Amino acid sequence: MVSKAVASLASIILVACVIAGVVCLVNRSGDSHDGDHGTNISTSSKAVASICSTTSYKDACVNSLENVGKNESATAKDYIIAAIQATIEEAKKSIKAAESVKTDGGKDPRDAMAVEDCKDLLEFAIEDLQAAFSFVGDSDLHTINDRLFDLRNWLSAVVSYQQTCLDQIGEPQYKDPMEHGLLNATQLTSNALTIVSQLGEILKAFHIDIELPKGADTGRRLMELSVVGHDDYPSWFPAGDRKLLQAGRAKPNAVVAQDGSGQYKTVGGAVNAIPRKSKNRWVIYIKAGVYRESVILPKDATNVYMYGDGPTKTIISGSKNFAINKITTMNTATFGTYLINGEGFIAKGIGFRNTAGPQGHQAVAFRSQSDLSAYFDCRFEGYQDTLYYQTNRQFYRNCVVSGTIDFIFGRGAAVIQNSEIIVRMPLPNQLNTVTADGTKEAFAISGVVLQNCKIVAEPQLFPNRFKIKSYLGRPWDKFSTTAVMESEVGDLIDPEGWTIWSGSNNHQTAKYLEYGNRGAGSNTNRRAKWTRVIKKNEALKYTPSVFLEGGKKAVKWVQGTGLPVTMGLTY
């Protein structure tokens, strides 16, 4: 009877706290203190301990929330703001740490470039953190919950920027101080991502009931997507972009032509002339030709749509590479995007090529940081590290991607649909791996999905396909996530299917999945034991509608293109 009375009192107190909009925690341990019969209300240390209990770095979490925990009227929103604010402060310190690392450019040119890259990447991280901070500060709990997917995506991008910084540094005398300087920032970013991702559970603990956001993994949503043959237009682009792409040859703001018939003879020239921070679409038409240049879209060149005369006619070609040029992987890209202040870069009918060959080792043809970006009828040609989905949400449809080692890799979230994946001849004693996902955090919005694709060997590899090991992928980081679904898998793929990342235990925590594949290489009887064949309900979670959407903003992403995209499963 006593326990029931205590429970009732606790419930009344919790309800009162919810009505007041504060975070309260009830001690249900049964310990009596000063005659309170086991009901001890705290708005400080216990609330902080509860929120931090799910994080990986609990001490850092407690320290970051200590001050807000002392506020007796603090709400769940206040705790989220505090977690992000603390992360911003540490991220700013990490830039100072990068500036303090002195390199020898003559002796170690690649590491010198890597440290400079760190400064840029950490600036990008701060911009995303500030965007997240502003959004939470200007929103109520319902709004935050509706856009949790977007918020998680921003924090996931921060994780990617931080890790990319460290990935590219080789020598210990540079890497060790950088890791030390980033330690607090990376821990707090991980914690903030966990707190945001677990918000629903936190609110439930405080008896705050908010409906799941649209696009979440609800039973009804999955039922809608499970219809056989369900083929719809994804909803990621606004109506204006739909009309733009449906028009085919849209009226350009700028024309690039090698013969002088346009305003510019180089792609770089047209890119440099893009109005900065434009709210309207800026359309660039690139006429047929091979443009031998490296092009980087700057971060303030927003809302860009670029199209060509076809991926085998309009080609942007470069040869920068890791091994010969002694530069960092991200700087080998023939074409790259730095769309931080904007989003939604679209490319159609263009080929992106890196001609360094297998001897160049890491040699990126295309690298994208642009959120809510999409690529249609494009071709990405290279060998190692061809297509780099570096950060944020990306969609590829009717494309061709070719390469050897980890040639589809990154730390963002990418779905590649209805595309041809061509495995090429590697160097002697090398193996082929189609994918290498680098998801570092369990709650990150990241991973790669190949859906309804065709995985084949190039003509040069074909007669040697049983002599050279080729795998669907390998786990680059602890929580690497890769799904191959409804695809035609050629007999070049080894019966084991997947291989481990040498020298790591990433495969023990990674998520490697197959569903509904066909072809001679799709037999899963001899697959690696750490991979799984999944059923329809789980496979639906990796379709664009669930894997890439999740918030009201993202619901207008791809569907607006007017191009055919499968939102669910084809069967």
393-397 and 373-376 beta bridge pairing: parallel
State phi, psi for 435 to the nearest 5 degrees. Answer: -125, 155
Residues 6 or more apart whose Cβ sits within 8 Å of residue 260:
none
Q: Of 108, 146, 167, 406, which residue is the catalytic one?
A: 406
Q: Of 385, 437, 477, 494, which residue is the catalytic one?
A: 385
Using alpha carbons, list the distances in angstroms from residue 59 to 52, 134, 527.
8, 26, 40
340: helix, strand or coil:
coil
Using alpha carbons, list the distances in angstroms from residue 470 to 171, 215, 431.
31, 36, 6
Among 225, 336, 249, residue whose Cα is nearest residue 565: 225
Which residue reads 């001050």 in tokens?
Answer: 67
Separation between Cα atoms, residue 395 and residue 571, nearest integer Å: 20
Would residue 259 show up in a list of annotated catalytic residues for this protein? no
Query: Tokens standing for 540?
Result: 């639906």
CA atoms within 13 A on the CB side of 489: 27
Would residue 385 show up in a list of annotated catalytic residues for this protein? yes
Among 243, 245, 225, 543, residue whose Cα is nearest residue 374: 245
The neighbouring-strand residues paired with 395 are 374, 415
Element (H, E) at 197: helix 172-197
Q: What type of residue is 328? A: T
State phi, psi for 408 to the nearest 5 degrees. Answer: -125, 105
Residues 6 or more apart whose Cβ sits within 8 Å of residue 508:
530
Spatial contact of 447 and 421, defined as CB atoms under 8 Å apart: no
Separation between Cα atoms, residue 386 and residue 421, nearest integer Å: 11
Among 310, 252, 246, residue whose Cα is nearest residue 281: 252
Distance of CA 311 to the CA centre of its chain: 25
User: How many other C-beta atoms can be found within 10 angstroms of the C-beta atom of residue 137?
Assistant: 12
Q: Where are the alpha helices (DSSP H) in 212-292?
A: 219-225, 239-246, 267-272
314-318 and 295-297 beta bridge pairing: unpaired
393-397 and 420-423 beta bridge pairing: unpaired
Element (H, E) at 20: helix 2-20
Angle 195-148-217 from CA coordinates, rounded to 5°: 105
Separation between Cα atoms, residue 148 and residue 491, nearest integer Å: 41
Query: Tokens standing for 346?
Result: 């679209």
Separation between Cα atoms, residue 432 and residue 427, nearest integer Å: 10
End-to-end CA distance of the chain: 56
Separation between Cα atoms, residue 436 and residue 123, nearest integer Å: 26
Distance of CA 100 to the CA centre of its chain: 29
Residues labelled as active-site residues? 385, 406
